[in-house]
């Protein structure tokens, strides 16, 4: 990304957001990769003024970034929607403490599940956590909104959620570039009542949060982030995010209540708008978030057919939704992904296929082991579950043949605790750590076991073998399976026969990265 002072550049939503955060004086940014959010940190790491990191997982990323805000600087956390689940523990209480420097929580949802294990709609987290939600409708807005989010965060003493979706993150447009405005660091406050969330203090903070919500609601009515575009009196839309951009193309003459500050809801604006339009339609991707709230307001409107709650609202569907023509979203013919030719994961899956075991799987390129021709991965729920499913399934079926598979990045993210748990609770079995020296699924990001930082600088390298031994595994073997099939098969057979908890680290670099083993 070109770093210019005042100019235009053709940027994706994620690039634009990174640029906007830099302009707004961002100092510290943390993330764990996840499509469609990954490029935000990748782009932020190009700015020397910003301290960036790949954290080991989203909970850690959230805490480090949030602590930097408590320390008085503008900070940012970014993740994909499921990453927010991992960060929910600090997130919920950070709403109570509030911030010092502005703190922005960027969450990229993935309607249509282009690259995700579920399709959750992050907007509900606004209600649950009592934090404001901003929703840009284009890359240019992503850039503008992140600056606004910092201002709102500091003004109302709250973390602010900036909700992106795949199409906003990955589509491109011309955006204006400006200069960076430094946000001078505030002093580190020793404020026990604000930052020590023991029950006595948290009760007081809960009251503060409720009062803050009332103020945020008043702000939602006034802010230009929620704007009315006056057009036809006979047709109007209440909408947000990419749905707004799609509708504008198809219905340029209609009226719009375009919500950029989606939560807390701007009830008065919604009431006034729906009253002023003969046919008011709410159009939103995924869940009926606005729709359910508008029902409670008793305003007159129509909404999409419930079948459109699944998947993306593509431009082609807009007319159908408005005119009520189709009830079912036709799936686009898909071409299934597969592991690359020469991928080291192939070898493990060919061995596992021959063994015929139940393979407790995890999330990464190796999840593709579930597809033909190997079809040798039998569960995949969330990151880290390759380790814990081996244990849980064995507790249900002690006699069955079960192993677990996890990637190197995923093991560091959330597999370590599962291995400690297995050792502590005397579980048995073989866990394969498929160490391809990178986070391949999301495009090849570094992690602690690669020994390289987000900026490719050498750092302390996490020794997976020593770590697994320390976790309590009885046997830990490290082997390069490529060109070594016989030895690999013999080792696997030995460890499976043993009445023990074993870890086999299958180590060979991904074909798409240049790295020495």
Ligand X SMILES: Cc1ncc(C[n+]2csc(CCOP(=O)(O)OP(=O)(O)O)c2C)c(N)n1
Tell me which residues touch ligand X (CB under 6 A). 32-34, 80, 82-83, 86, 117, 363-366, 383, 407-410, 434, 436, 438-442
E strand or H helix at 501: strand 501-507
Name the minimum Å distance from CB 429 to ligand X: 19
Running DSSP on this structure, what letter comes out for residue 100? S
Closer to ligand X by CB, 202 or 381: give it.
381
Axis-axis angle for helices 416-424, 385-396 (nearest 10): 30
For the chain, report the end-to-end CA distance as a whole number of angstroms: 31
Closer to ligand X by CB, 322 or 468: give it.
468
Name the minimum Å distance from CB 364 to ligand X: 3
Axis-axis angle for helices 58-70, 88-97 (nearest 10): 20
Phi, psi for residue 321 in degrees, rounded to 5: -65, -45
Q: Under a CB-based contact definition with an 8 Å cutoff, are residues 384 and 362 in contact?
A: yes
Q: Which residue number places its CB atom closest to ligand X?
A: 407
Closer to ligand X by CB, 93 or 117: give it.
117
The rounded distance, in Å, linking the Cα atoms of 346 and 434 is: 10
Closer to ligand X by CB, 22 or 366: give it.
366
Name the minimum Å distance from CB 30 to ligand X: 13
* Dihedral angle of Cα 185, 188, 189, 194, to the nearest 10 degrees: 90
Name the minimum Å distance from CB 384 to ligand X: 9
Name the minimum Å distance from CB 420 to ligand X: 18
> Of how many residues is the chain composed?
517
Hey, what are 474's tokens? 């009885």
- In a 10 Å sphere around its CB, with 0-12 CB exposed, 13-18 middle and 19+ buried, how is residue 429 labelled? buried
Name the minimum Å distance from CB 510 to ligand X: 6
What residues does 429 pair with on adjacent strands? 501
Closer to ligand X by CB, 306 or 337: give it.
337
Name the minimum Å distance from CB 279 to ligand X: 40
Closer to ligand X by CB, 116 or 243: give it.
116
The rounded distance, in Å, linking the Cα atoms of 509 and 511 is: 6
Beta strands 51-54 and 75-80, pairing class: unpaired
* Residue 70 neighbours by CB under 8 Å, 6+ apart: 97, 99, 100, 101, 188, 195
Q: Under a CB-based contact definition with an 8 Å cutoff, are residues 448 and 461 in contact?
A: yes
Q: Under a CB-based contact definition with an 8 Å cutoff, are residues 103 and 76 in contact?
A: yes
Closer to ligand X by CB, 86 or 257: give it.
86
| Coil, helix or strand at residue 445 | strand
Closer to ligand X by CB, 303 or 464: give it.
464
Name the minimum Å distance from CB 128 to ligand X: 18
The DSSP-derived string for 209-230 is HHHHHHHHHHHHHH-TTEEEE-
Name the minimum Å distance from CB 508 to ligand X: 11
Closer to ligand X by CB, 9 or 381: give it.
381
């Amino acid at each position: 990304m070109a770093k210019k002072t005042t100019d235009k550049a053709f940027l994706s939503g994620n690039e634009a957001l990174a640029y906007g955060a830099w302009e707004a004086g961002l100092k510290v940014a943390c993330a764990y990769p996840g499509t469609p959010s990954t490029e935000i940190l990748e782009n932020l790491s190009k700015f020397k003024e910003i301290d960036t990191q790949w954290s080991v997982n989203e909970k850690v990323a959230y805490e480090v970034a949030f602590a930097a805000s408590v320390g008085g600087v503008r900070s940012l956390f970014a993740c994909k929607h499921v990453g927010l689940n991992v960060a929910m523990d600090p997130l919920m209480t950070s709403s109570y403490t509030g911030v010092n420097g502005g703190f922005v929580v960027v969450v990229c949802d993935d309607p249509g599940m282009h690259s995700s294990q579920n399709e959750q709609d992050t907007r509900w987290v606004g209600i649950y956590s009592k934090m404001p939600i901003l929703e840009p409708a284009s890359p240019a807005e992503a850039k503008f909104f992140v600056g606004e989010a910092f201002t709102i965060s500091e003004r109302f003493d709250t973390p602010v959620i900036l909700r992106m979706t795949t199409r906003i993150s990955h589509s491109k447009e011309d955006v204006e570039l400006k200069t960076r405005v430094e946000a001078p660091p505030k002093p580190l406050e020793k404020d026990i009542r604000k930052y020590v969330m023991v029950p006595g203090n948290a009760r007081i903070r809960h009251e503060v949060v409720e009062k803050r919500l009332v103020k945020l609601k008043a702000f939602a009515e006034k802010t230009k982030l929620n704007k009315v575009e006056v057009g036809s009196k006979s047709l109007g839309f209440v909408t947000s995010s990419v749905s707004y951009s799609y509708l504008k193309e198809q219905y340029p003459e209609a009226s719009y209540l375009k919500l950029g500050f989606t939560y807390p809801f701007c009830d008065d604006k919604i009431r006034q708008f729906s009253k002023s339009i003969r046919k008011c339609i709410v159009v939103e991707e995924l869940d009926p978030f606005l729709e359910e709230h508008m029902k409670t307001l008793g305003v007159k409107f129509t909404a999409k057919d419930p079948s459109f709650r699944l998947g993306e609202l593509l431009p082609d569907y807009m007319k159908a939704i408005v005119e009520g023509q189709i009830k079912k979203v036709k799936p686009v013919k898909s071409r299934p992904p597969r592991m690359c030719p020469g991928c080291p994961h192939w070898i493990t899956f060919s061995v596992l296929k021959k063994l015929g075991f139940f393979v407790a799987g995890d999330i990464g390129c190796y999840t593709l082991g579930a597809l033909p021709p190997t079809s040798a991965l039998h569960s995949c729920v969330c990151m880290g579950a390759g380790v814990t499913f081996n244990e849980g399934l064995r507790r249900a079926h002690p006699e069955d043949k079960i192993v677990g598979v996890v990637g190197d990045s995923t093991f560091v993210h959330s597999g370590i605790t599962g291995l400690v748990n297995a050792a502590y609770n005397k579980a048995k079995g073989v866990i394969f750590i498929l160490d391809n020296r990178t986070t391949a699924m999301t495009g090849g990001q570094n992690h602690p076991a690669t020994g390289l930082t987000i900026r490719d600088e050498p750092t302390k390298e996490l020794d997976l073998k020593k770590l697994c031994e320390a976790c309590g595994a009885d046997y830990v073997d490290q082997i390069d399976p490529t060109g070594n099939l016989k030895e690999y098969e013999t080792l696997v057979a030995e460890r499976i026969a043993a009445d023990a908890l074993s870890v086999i680290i299958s180590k060979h670099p991904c074909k798409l990265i240049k790295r020495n083993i």
